[in-house]
Amino acid sequence: MNILLAASEAVPFAKTGGLADVVAALPVALERLGHRAVVFLPGYRGALNGGQPLEQTQVRISVPIGSKTVEGTLLKSRLPDSQVDVYFVQQDEYYLRDELYGVNGSDYIDNCERFVFFCRAVLEAVRQLPLRVDVVHAHDWQTGLIPAYLKIAYRGLPGYEQIASLFTIHNLAYQGTFWHWDMLLTGLDWKYFNWHQMEFYGKLNLMKTGLVFADAINTVSPRYAEEIQNAPLGCGLEGVLQQRREVLSGIVNGVDYRIWDPATDPHLPKNYDERSVVEGKAACKAALQAELGLPSAPDVPLVGLIGRLVDQKGIDLVAEVVQDWVRSNDVQWVILGTGEARYHQLFATLAERFPQKVAARLAFSEPLAHRIEAGADIFLMPSRFEPCGLNQLYSLKYGAVPVVRGTGGLVDTITDTTPQSLADGTATGFSFRETEVLALAETLRRAINTYRQADTWRQIVANGMRQDWSWGRSAQQYVQLYQSTLTRVRAPLIAERV
Ligand code: ADP
């Protein structure tokens, strides 16, 4: 099969979250399974100056944007260690900026226009290059117009009618809503601006557009696929998702173990695997404590958290527990993240006042993220909602036992420690249901008590490290989904011909 992935982020070119990891790893895994994949990304400044070799193409693309025509070009690169071509849609006025979506907490005011252009440019590129495409796989609201253009503007054009579309929701909380006049930018007829299709409470909604027009929809875990069919996690789109539930499914993201494996990780002071985990983690913990200025304390549980410091991630719960425990409990806390100013301030203050207990790095640092996974005994992820979550999967591999709130992908990937799950060897972490400080505190206490029982702890660590959340597994599920979607889309076409 020939798969075209269109997205607004992919490692190593552009990243703000887990989406970038998925869009980089899935095509490589598809290639390994014998399929052909290409990736389309906007030509951001960072992506073009990112150090990967770039090639000019001769392709010039003209896209109608409202009443004007905007020109762009295509640049070509490769995903590292693969044959997967990456095409950058180059349009400097739209993409040659310092950030992907906005600065200083405000979105760029022309985001709708930027992604209208991107979506049409991708479909134009298909005929101009030309590319053979069986499935277009679009990701999140930035590419939500692609399924719509395929169904409406490109219907009947030679080469396009055989293309099926899959739309993946990575996070339903970000929907790409714009004022209604931006409908004019899309070039689509106003008749589609209705509450069954592109309109959402008077606004243009690009996530909804993708959900309505795609041939199939999936999200990044089976549990999140269920949860979003109801309020509150449906974020207002639960009705649309219920209507489309026949074509809605969930596939847990994979981990790129070429990057996230403590046995080979170049960022760690000492590499380790399941057999050498006790010594390996002890060395990494000592080095992490030294790096962050925490006292060297091999027996004090070290709790790590990496991620966006926003409400979604339950950071307020963490902040309360840290504040509550910092004087009385012998626990070390390591926080790595960026996000809302109030959390920056809070953790910076805690780290300043309690340097023996709290280390906060309010920055984005991939190397430090690796060292935290290796040095931490416990990894915290008390998310309010979590479409899939990657950090808990890294934690499993690095022997940092996850403490999670049971939501979305965290339910599908972490098994709570109980006498039963210990007995059958499935226990991999600790989880709780209520979004309450008390529930988190109690679960953390449970984890720390278990940490004190070295044999049991070692067993939980081993259970986690043995799990396989590789992309090979997820990619196989995507192949099945592409195939079933393609069969469904092409069946009527074949019937017509007979
Ligand atoms: P989300 O996509 O909601 O942000 P995920 O857990 O799915 O959450 O993915 C987050 C990704 O971003 C992970 O790879 C995580 O390690 C990384 N990440 C987030 N914040 C930071 C940070 N401050 N420094 C380094 N990596 C980070």
DSSP letters along 135-163, please?
EEEEESGGGTHHHHHHHTTSTTSTTTTT-
pLDDT tens-digit profile of 76-134? Answer: 999 988 999 999 999 999 999 989 999 988 999 999 999 999 999 999 999 999 999 99
In sequence order, the β-bridge partners of residue 250 are: 219
Pocket test for ligand 1, best of 169, 267, 308, 335 (most atoms within 8 A of CB): 308
Phi, psi (5° rounding) for residue 77? Answer: -145, -165
498 pLDDT more than 70: no
Where is 393: in which H helix or E strand?
helix 391-398
pLDDT value at residue 493: 75
Most distant CA pair in the chain, distance: 77
pLDDT tens-digit profile of 1-45? Answer: 999 999 999 999 999 888 999 999 999 999 999 999 999 999 999
Q: Which two tokens stand for residue 53?
A: 């070799």
Q: What is the mean pLDDT of residues 210-234?
A: 97
| pLDDT, greater one: 493 or 190 | 190
361 pLDDT more than 80: yes
Pocket test for ligand 1, best of 390, 397, 412 (most atoms within 8 A of CB): 390
Yes or no: say if 370 and 235 are a contact pair by the CB < 8 Å rule.
no
Yes or no: say if 464 and 396 are a contact pair by the CB < 8 Å rule.
yes
The secondary structure of residue 246, as a DSSP letter, is G
pLDDT band at 495 (very low <50, low <70, confident <90, very high): confident
Q: Is 76 exposed, middle or buried (0-12, 13-18, 19+ CB in 10 A)?
A: middle
The secondary structure of residue 88, as a DSSP letter, is E
pLDDT band at 431 (very low <50, low <70, confident <90, very high): very high
pLDDT value at residue 98: 86
Cα–ligand 1 centroid distance for 138 (angstroms): 21
Closest of 331, 254, 304 to residue 21, by C-alpha: 254
Amino acid at site 291: E
Give the end-to-end CA distance of the chain in Å, rounded to a whole number.
23
pLDDT tens-digit profile of 278-337? Answer: 999 999 999 999 999 999 999 999 999 999 999 999 999 999 999 999 999 999 999 999
Strand 68-78 with 55-65, pairing: antiparallel
Rounded to 10 degrees, the C-alpha dihedral 293/298/299/303 comes to 50
Cα–ligand 1 centroid distance for 6 (angstroms): 21
Pocket test for ligand 1, best of 26, 306, 338, 396 (most atoms within 8 A of CB): 306
Output 490-494 pairs: Cβ under 8 A, ≥24 positions apart: 490/162, 490/164, 493/161, 493/162
Mean pLDDT across the chain: 96
Total-model pTM: 0.92
Q: Is 491 helix (H, G, I), strand (E, B) or coil?
A: helix
Closest of 364, 367, 320 to residue 338, by C-alpha: 364
pLDDT value at residue 43: 96
Q: Which atom of ligand 1 is nearest to the CA of 381?
A: 6
Q: What is the mean pLDDT of residues 127-156?
A: 96
Q: What is the mean pLDDT of residues 351-379?
A: 97
Yes or no: say if 128 and 160 are a contact pair by the CB < 8 Å rule.
no
| C-alpha–C-alpha distance, residues 388 and 220, integer Å | 5
Closest of 236, 166, 182 to residue 208, by C-alpha: 236
Q: Which atom of ligand 1 is nearest to the CA of 392?
A: 6
Closest of 279, 286, 216 to residue 484, by C-alpha: 216
pLDDT value at residue 125: 97
Amino acid at site 76: K
| C-alpha–C-alpha distance, residues 114 and 108, integer Å | 9
Q: What percent of the chain has pLDDT over 90?
A: 92
pLDDT value at residue 488: 95
Question: Cβ < 6 Å from ligand 1: which residues?
Answer: 17-18, 21, 306-308, 336-338, 364-366, 369, 388-391
For residue 446, what are the CA distances in angstroms to 103, 265, 279, 404, 441? Answer: 41, 30, 24, 12, 9
415 pLDDT more than 80: yes
Q: What is the mean pLDDT of residues 164-186?
A: 97
pLDDT value at residue 17: 82
Cα–ligand 1 centroid distance for 364 (angstroms): 9
470 pLDDT more than 80: yes
Residue nearest atom 24 in ligand 1 by C-alpha distance: 364
DSSP per position, 448-463: HHHHTSHHHHHHHHHH
| C-alpha–C-alpha distance, residues 210 and 222, integer Å | 19
For residue 356, what are the CA distances in angstroms to 324, 331, 375? Answer: 15, 10, 16
- What the chain holds in terms of domains, given with CATH numbers, is 2-254+472-497 (3.40.50.2000), 277-468 (3.40.50.2000)
Residue nearest atom 22 in ligand 1 by C-alpha distance: 364
Yes or no: say if 214 and 199 are a contact pair by the CB < 8 Å rule.
no
Q: What percent of the chain has pLDDT over 70?
A: 100
Closest of 329, 365, 335, 330 to residue 350, by C-alpha: 335
Tell me how long the chain is.
498
Q: Which two tokens stand for residue 398?
A: 């690095």
Cα–ligand 1 centroid distance for 62 (angstroms): 36
pLDDT value at residue 159: 85
Pocket test for ligand 1, best of 364, 370, 383, 413 (most atoms within 8 A of CB): 364
